[in-house]
Structure 1
């Protein structure tokens, strides 16, 4: 193992070096390679090795030191000289981890993601926690949701601080609270579903408790208070009490009261910016929005975070940032690593939107950026599958622009991974017949996995694309990655999961086609052959579930996985019922199968960019999954 001898290493770096040593593969020893270190705030990151003299790292921030250390170790281990000079273009940059869509990161999972952040030199992290942090006054807050205790969050904060990462709580203080509102203690403070009742004293008692609990474990005085997408604000209980009131007035009243709480607690609030645009009577992404002078004057002291992971035009971002800046409050950008497309990351959309947004942020003089990693519809995509998007974000922080060659080289240097391997994951939802980069976020892999074997809802949409051929090619590609031994890079579990997923998609498409062809032809011999494929499909579904479960439990709380068990269990049970139904037809118990007689109608609008997309409830059945 590589030995390093740091000369005059600052004590502030000791704990972080101890964390990173086993990760990067080195030990500290007096007879190791000599490494000098020097802090140079505001300067560039310099990393150099050479044939004569010690190696050296000159770093502008603590986080940049660990980026430099990662590059140094990689160079020494590979025998490749290192000569790096790069200056961070932004003061604060980090990842936002969605912990509220069932996939709640454990302490170990958070530490793994913070280590990944440190490797690439990011100095901040947002923990998006709707109801997954303990609040002493409310025992049902985060109940069976994987909530973290204040002691656990403090441990995460200590871990981040050792790596130079500011860990910031990101909560909700207006909307996106539908899940906890199932509990009776919140019924009295609900306006519309998921939205708090503005201007009720009980609401602000509640908010003071949750803000205090969310902020207490952390060193930082920053807190993200949410406030986004409150579309039905003032349209429920508030409307009953006060009549129809302009949403701008309601927003201003609420934000004033919430920021008064944060001021009382000595906190610096940040909020999503979209509701100011909606309150002004415009859609969020309208750069022509005009804010009144009165609104500009009345918005309280709160920073604004502009979230946008949808546009790929740098000029658009520049215009939107300029519009935000008219409000006279500090503005930051939240771009996205598309972990919420479905089962696999959408790298095409990630790279197109992130590169445009990040370049614009630098042009417009922003100092703070985050890359969101949402987990819509159950957190099906493991965050570890997003490694290439994380690297791209970091390269945008340390360089003015990033091309594919720079990204691939950096990915190997800082994470020991191959860009081509991770770009293969993009192929789950990037079909060759559709627009490159998947701009409409179509998710055919999720469609195929969850749609019905006999009456697939999206069959008409996919009729003109070669799904079977595409996933066969992808399965072969992914199997080659697994066979090559990605375990050395710590990625084996992720690629085993995705290889098995591709195999399931291939088998399911093949058996669906065989069943329909046999039924259409009235060929019982062919139907027997098709039905004989169902046990193998059942085995394959079990195998992908097991591999997915392995990835999940490496990062996330066990609470939340039960939802995916229900989904996989539904697939397994449906295979059993399909086998039974086919046997009924084969032995003449029934003369027809209504599921196969039903015409296949298109769903939505099929375009050159999309064959459709959906959440689980949109794909598994037209019938109600739950509800009255």
Structure 2
């Protein structure tokens, strides 16, 4: 703790003293006499000034979150006896979105740990993407057996964040992405299609009112993100039966206006994702069309105070990003949602994140976009922990407080001060996907760690893709790095156990996938004997991975959702057992052939000598072609 603190009220002092133990390690603060001073308007438009000299330390700040960023800067420069730092925010609202609807629901305690570190970084917004994982009074089937948050839990998260000056913003769905709700018979009346609510329905509007009322009663923020993205087939289901065929943009805009009006009843201001608006208005029927033009009549139908969210996780061209932002701004107030590429993987793919987020964050600063957030999406199982997103959070924060370009490689000391962790550990974890032979032209970040893990050992769909790439050597080296990192990190390195165990699995499985079928077709019995031994060792390593992954999940998330991954691991272990038994039977003469290994292998994800040709590699498309 500091030798003394002057200028902090009781509430602020409690938030400072609750900062996690890593912040106080080394007793660096014990000799510091700290004065904190809120100043509504600092000189030269700055938001934060941190000074240290022989009289002590002084932090002048405009908003509470600036104070906590100042504390992070003070820790970073703790060994310096004299310094002066002033900073300005170039992105007024900078935050992170975490997807709490795709299988994993982080515990309130885990979110508090993230918020501690976000505060020291200077991030001032945490968005929770919640499709059906919040409580609605009188709707027991909403979020049934999904491990969602109670209203009391949301209020506690909001209270905790508010102490740091961080807003909690709910991101819900009021049109599409509602399949988890609409699967229940009692919600049949709300259904247009399997995933879309029935627009223009009084019953739907009453249901949306319940959603808005629940969120509005839990969170301080009056901003709410209402989704409305990816509503493909809008009006083509029950809506068409009841109302006849209508242009989907008309249905969409009518619904948008009704939601806007309903939100107003609860004092809420809406933001919505813009992709469908662009697709309806584009001559190419595509989202990324900077030449899309809405006629004036259509523009007038968009509520003037509704914010358009331009989401783009893969574009790297500065000209496209600038043009898309300008096109959005010509329609209405704009928010940008960018990448922290964790989707459909066990890790955050940082090389791809820097290549996309870097030019995007420069573009939003040039165009003075007032709100930006990086997205940790967890589609297809939520296999990646949000903890692995921390370096990306730091990157977004530094961009907000830096006018120009931010080099992600220069942030290690900031990251250590704000998290107590070594950024190099996270770069090593990213090597699970960042293999040497990635196609640089691939728009979608390849996720070899996922499809190599889950693909069938006898019917491997990606066998030909990874053959000859020596990925076993890459994963052996990755495991060595992560093992060293885990030893260095000690108790702070628990998050590295799953990446390490996965690298140890992939070392064997990548070699087997690239060889087993060929050894069989070449009748190489010696090699097949070695493959049989490798299958036995692989089984042991997968069991270890499952155990460590389960421990990580249960320590940070609701237990609901783990069942999906348990089934994946159970299926993989069963198939490894079958593969081992069948191969042994073949080697010992009890089987004359193995038809699964006789099938020729063809490439799916290879472009010359490189991996990554733009296909979306999720679990169901990786594990088997057999139809259940």
Give unpaired runs (5+ residues) of structure 1: none
Task: Map 1:38-437; keep pairs closer than 5 Å.
Answer: 38-42=37-41, 43-50=46-53, 52-76=54-78, 78=79, 83-281=84-282, 282-300=285-303, 301-327=305-331, 329-400=332-403, 401-436=405-440
Q: Write the distance in 2 (CA, Å) between the matches of 1:178 and 1:323.
A: 31
Deviation of residue 621 (structure 1)? 0.4
Provide the residue aligned with 1:535 in structure 2.
536
Deviation of residue 557 (structure 1)? 0.8
Q: Any conservation in 1 of the 2:466–2:510 contact (CA below 8 Å)?
A: no
Identify if the C-alpha distance between structure 1 residues 275 and 17 changes in structure 2 by more than 3 Å, giving closer, same or farther: same
Q: Deviations over 1:410-457 (max 9, x none)?
A: 223322333333222232222222235964311111111011112210
Deviation of residue 74 (structure 1)? 4.0
Q: Alignment RMSD, CA only?
A: 2.2
Q: Any conservation in 2 of the 1:344–1:385 contact (CA below 8 Å)?
A: yes
Q: Deviations over 1:466-500 (max 9, x none)?
A: 322221222222222123x2136x2x122121111
Provide the residue aligned with 2:4 in structure 1.
5
SS at match of 1:179: helix
- How many aligned positions are there? 618
Deviation of residue 604 (structure 1)? 6.0
Q: Write the distance in 1 (CA, Å) between the matches of 2:606 and 2:238.
A: 37
Q: Deviations over 1:313-339 (max 9, x none)?
A: 222211111101111x21111112111
Q: Write the distance in 2 (CA, Å) between the matches of 1:358 and 1:29.
A: 34
Check if 1:461 corresponds to 2:465. yes
Q: Write the distance in 1 (CA, Å) between the matches of 2:187 and 2:433.
A: 39
Q: Write the distance in 1 (CA, Å) between the matches of 2:244 and 2:9.
A: 62
Identify if the C-alpha distance between structure 1 residues 46 and 467 changes in structure 2 by more than 3 Å, giving closer, same or farther: same
Identify if the C-alpha distance between structure 1 residues 82 and 498 changes in structure 2 by more than 3 Å, giving closer, same or farther: farther
Give unpaired runs (5+ residues) of structure 2: none
Q: Deviations over 1:215-262 (max 9, x none)?
A: 211111111111111011111111112222111110111011111111
SS at match of 2:16: helix
Q: Any conservation in 2 of the 1:349–1:437 contact (CA below 8 Å)?
A: no
Deviation of residue 279 (structure 1)? 2.0
Q: Write the distance in 1 (CA, Å) between the matches of 2:371 and 2:421.
A: 27
Q: Any conservation in 2 of the 1:519–1:527 contact (CA below 8 Å)?
A: yes
Q: Any conservation in 1 of the 2:463–2:513 contact (CA below 8 Å)?
A: no
SS at match of 1:56: strand
Identify if the C-alpha distance between structure 1 residues 21 and 517 changes in structure 2 by more than 3 Å, giving closer, same or farther: closer
Q: Write the distance in 2 (CA, Å) between the matches of 1:190 and 1:436.
A: 42
Deviation of residue 263 (structure 1)? 0.8
Task: Map 1:599-618; keep pairs closer than 5 Å.
Answer: 599-603=600-604, 606=607, 608=610, 610=612, 613-618=616-621
Of 424-433 and 391-400, more deviation after overlay is shown by 424-433
Give the TM-score normalised by the residue count of structure 1.
0.94
Aligned with 1:451 (options 450, 455, 458): 455
Give the TM-score normalised by the residue count of structure 2.
0.94
Of 521-530 and 127-136, more deviation after overlay is shown by 521-530
Provide the residue aligned with 1:564 in structure 2.
565
